[in-house]
Amino acid sequence: MRFPYGIADFQTIIAEGYFYVDRTDRIALIENAGHQLLFLRPRRFGKSLWLSTLENYYDLARADDFERLFGGLKIGQNPTPLCNRYFILKLNFSVVDPSGDHDAIRHALFDHINTRIEDVLIRYAPWLGQPARVHPDNAIASLQSLLGAVSRTPYKLYLLIDEYDNFANEVMISPLRGTDRYEALVRGEGTIKTFFKAIKEGAEGRGIDRAFITGVSPVVLSDITSGYNVVEDLSFDPDYHDLCGFTESELRAVLEAVAVAHSFDAGQTDAALDLMRDFYNGYRFSTRREERLYNPTLALYFLKHWARQGAYPARLLDDNLAMDRNRIQYVARLPHGETLVNRALDPAEPLAVAQLANRFGVQDMLTAPRDPDFLASLLYYFGVLTLAGRDTLGKLALTIPNLVIRKLYVERLQESLLPDYADQEQRQRVVERFYGTGDLGPLCDFLEQRYFKVFDNRDLRWSNELVVKTAFLVTLFNDAFYVMDSEPALERRYADLMLRVRPDMRQYALLDHLLEFKTVSLKEAGISSAELAATPRETLRTLPVVTEKLREAEHQLTAYRKVLERTYGTTLKLRTHAVACIGLERLVW
C-alpha cells in the first residue's frame, strides 16, 4: 500500500492509487449547510486535502475527469447537481510571506491573489466570454474584475481559502515582530479586512456563490467582524466531526492490510494499533460525538514507515508537529498561563470551561486576559487540548489528546526547568539507570536537588501531589522506549504513573514501572523544614504517617499488579514503586 504522507493533492492521491479515506459523502451535507463556511482544525489535520477534494469535485474544467477521480468514491454513486459547475479560485495564505512591514506583506498577499487569478483566467478562458483585468498593485480590483467576467457567464465562482489565519499565527509565535504589521492588516481599511469585505460583496449576487475557508482559530474573523460577518462555522457540528482525521476502525482495516503484506500475525497488528492509539488518537471536536479521532498526518507518518520497513518509526513524533510546542509556550508566557499549561498535565482533574471562546482577536491575546476559559480555549484551537466530555457541573472538560502532544508539554517544561546541559546530562544518567534496574535512589536525589528547588521558586505549586507526579513524568518521559501513562485506568481504579515498554523495545533491558505517589505535609509529619532537610531518609521512613502512606500505596500497587498481569500476561517485566513526598522537599520509598 502507498501512503500519501505530506501529499495534500486529491488528484495525485486518487490517480496514483494512494491510501484515501473517503469522506465525499459529506459534500451533499456541506452544500445544504450554507454558502459561506468556516472549518477550523489543528495544524496538519487534513484540511488542505479536503479543500483539494472540493476543488476537484466542483471544477468546471475537470468535468471530463469526474468518473476517473470520483467514480469509485461515495459521491461518485450519487453526485449532486452542482458537480463540476463552478469556476474555482483557490487561495492559500500560508504561502504568503508574513515578514517585512505592512507594505511588504500587502504586496506579497496581492501577488499571491493576482497569481491565482491569472491561473483562473488561463484555465477557464474557453468559458469566460470577456477577459478580466489583473491589477498588479491592487488584487482586490483584480478580484472584482474577475467577478465581473464570471457574472457574464452561466456559471459562478467557488472560493476556497486555506490557512486564512496564517498572519495571526505568525503574531502568536513572535508577537514582538508582528503586532503592528498585523494591526495594519485587519484594522480600519486594512488589507485583509478589505479583502474579506470584497468577498462578502462578491457573494451578494456578484459572482461568488460559495466559499469554504479553513484555519486553526477564529481569531482573524473576530478582528474583521464588520467586514465579513456572514460566514457559518462548521467546526463543532457533529456531522463534520470526522470530516478530517481517521477513525479507529479505518486504521485497523489498513493495519490488517499491511500485516498481510508483511506476514505479520494478529498480535503484531493489535500491538501496532495499541501504540497508535496511545500516541496519535484522542481528538474530539463535538460533544455530541463520542468517537475519538487519530491525527491523520501522524497516522500516515507511522503507516508509511511500517509498510516500508515492517517496523515502527523510532521517533513517534513527526517533526512537522514539533512546532506546536511554540503554541504551548505562547500561552505559558501569558499571565497565569504557566500554571494553566502545567495543570493540563493532570488527567485526574481536567481543565474545564463553561464554553469555548470563539470571539477574540489578536489584541485580546496580546493584552493577556485573566479569564482562564480564554487561555484554555486557545490551547484547544491549537490542537494541544481536546474535548473530553462534560464535568459534573456541565462544563466542557479539556484534556491532552495523546502522548505525542503530552511530549510537547513535557519537553517545554524540561527545557524551562532544566535549561543547562549538565542538568540534562545528569537527568539522562539517572533515568536510564532507573529504566533498567528500578533504582529509585539516584532519581529521587536528582528530583530533590533539581526539580523541587525550581518548583519552589516559581508559580508551580498547583497541589503537592500534582507537582510530584509532574516532576516524575517530566523527568522520566521517553517515548523512544516507553508508553507513558499518567493516571492509567486499571479497571475502575487509576494508578499515578506507568511506564510500559513499547512493543518493539521489549527485546532490550528495559523494565516496566508502575509508581504510586503519596504526599505528607510538614504539619502531618510533625517536623520543621530545617529538621526535614537534616534527617536521614531511613529515619523519615519510620515516621508513622509516612509508614502509613507507603503501606497504603503498596496495597494499591498490589491490586494494580493483578490487573496488569491479567491484561499483559508474562510479557510484563513489572517493578512497582511506592513513593512518599514530604513537604515537597524530600522523597521516601
214 and 274 belong to one structural domain: no
pLDDT band at residue 485 under the 50/70/90 scheme:
confident
Pairwise pLDDT comparison (102 vs 83), residue with the higher score = 83
Indicate whether 385 belongs to any domain: no
pLDDT band at residue 226 under the 50/70/90 scheme:
low
Residue 497: which H helix or E strand, with range?
strand 497-501
164 and 253 belong to one structural domain: no
Q: Is 81 exposed, middle or buried (0-12, 13-18, 19+ CB in 10 A)?
A: exposed
Q: Is 538 exposed, middle or buried (0-12, 13-18, 19+ CB in 10 A)?
A: exposed
Which residue has cell 470530516? 243
562 and 449 belong to one structural domain: yes
232 and 277 belong to one structural domain: no
Q: What CA–CA distance (Å, rounded) separates 286 from 239?
A: 9
The pLDDT value recorded for residue 459 is 45
The pLDDT value recorded for residue 460 is 45
Indicate whether 430 belongs to any domain: yes
SS (H, E, C) 300-360: HHHHHHHHHHCCCCCCCCCHHHHCHHHHHHHHHHCCCHHHHHHHCCCCCCCEEECCCCCCC
Indicate whether 114 belongs to any domain: yes
Window from 218-227, 353-362, 457-466, 496-505 with minimum mean pLDDT: 457-466
Cβ distance 24 to 91 under 8 Å? no
* Long-range CB contacts for residues 266-270, cutoff 8 Å, separation at least 24: none
193 and 252 belong to one structural domain: no
Last residue of a domain, one of 177, 210, 240: 240
Closest CA to 518 of 438, 441, 581: 581
Q: What CA–CA distance (Å, rounded) separates 53 from 48?
A: 9
Host domain of residue 271: 248-282+292-322
298 and 232 belong to one structural domain: no
Residue 239 has pLDDT above 90, yes or no: yes
Grid coordinates representing 464 are 503537592
pLDDT band at residue 171 under the 50/70/90 scheme:
low
Residue 195 has pLDDT above 80, yes or no: yes
pLDDT in tens, 528-544: 989 999 999 999 999 99
217 and 270 belong to one structural domain: no
Pairwise pLDDT comparison (438 vs 131), residue with the higher score = 438
Give me the mean pLDDT over the 34-45 stretch: 94
Indicate whether 92 belongs to any domain: yes
SS3 breakdown of the chain: % helix, strand, coil, rounded to 5? 50, 15, 35
Residue 155 has pLDDT above 80, yes or no: yes
Give me the mean pLDDT over the 570-576 stretch: 93
Window from 68-72, 79-83, 86-90, 367-371 with minimum mean pLDDT: 367-371
The pLDDT value recorded for residue 110 is 95
Grid coordinates representing 499 are 511506564
The pLDDT value recorded for residue 174 is 64
Q: What CA dihedral angle connects 394, 396, 402 and 406, to 10 degrees?
A: -110
- Using alpha carbons only, what angle is made at residue 497 by residues 492 and 498, rounded to the nearest 5 degrees? 90
pLDDT in tens, 378-398: 899 999 999 999 998 999 999
275 and 170 belong to one structural domain: no
Q: What CA–CA distance (Å, rounded) separates 550 from 117?
A: 71
The pLDDT value recorded for residue 394 is 93
Residue 493: which H helix or E strand, with range?
strand 493-494
pLDDT band at residue 247 under the 50/70/90 scheme:
very high
pLDDT band at residue 105 under the 50/70/90 scheme:
confident
The pLDDT value recorded for residue 337 is 84
Residue 415 has pLDDT above 80, yes or no: yes
Q: 3-state DSSP call for residue 214? A: strand
Q: Name the residue type at position 488.
A: P
E-only strand ranges, 31-162: 36-40, 86-92, 156-162
Cβ distance 158 to 54 under 8 Å? yes
The pLDDT value recorded for residue 182 is 72
262 and 231 belong to one structural domain: no
74 and 143 belong to one structural domain: yes
276 and 223 belong to one structural domain: no
274 and 209 belong to one structural domain: no
DSSP secondary structure string, 242-297? TSSSB-HHHHHHHHHHHHHHHT--HHHHHHHHHHHHHHH--B---TT----BB-HH
* CB atoms inside a 10 Å sphere around CB 404: 22
Last residue of a domain, one of 209, 240, 271: 240
Indicate whether 189 belongs to any domain: yes
The pLDDT value recorded for residue 121 is 96
pLDDT band at residue 486 under the 50/70/90 scheme:
confident
Domain count, the chain: 3
Window from 166-180, 235-249, 255-269 with minimum mean pLDDT: 166-180
Q: What is the mean pLDDT of the chain?
A: 90
pLDDT band at residue 326 under the 50/70/90 scheme:
confident
Residues above pLDDT 70, as percent of the chain: 94
Please report, in angstroms and rounded to a whole number, the separation of the first and last CA atoms in the chain. 50
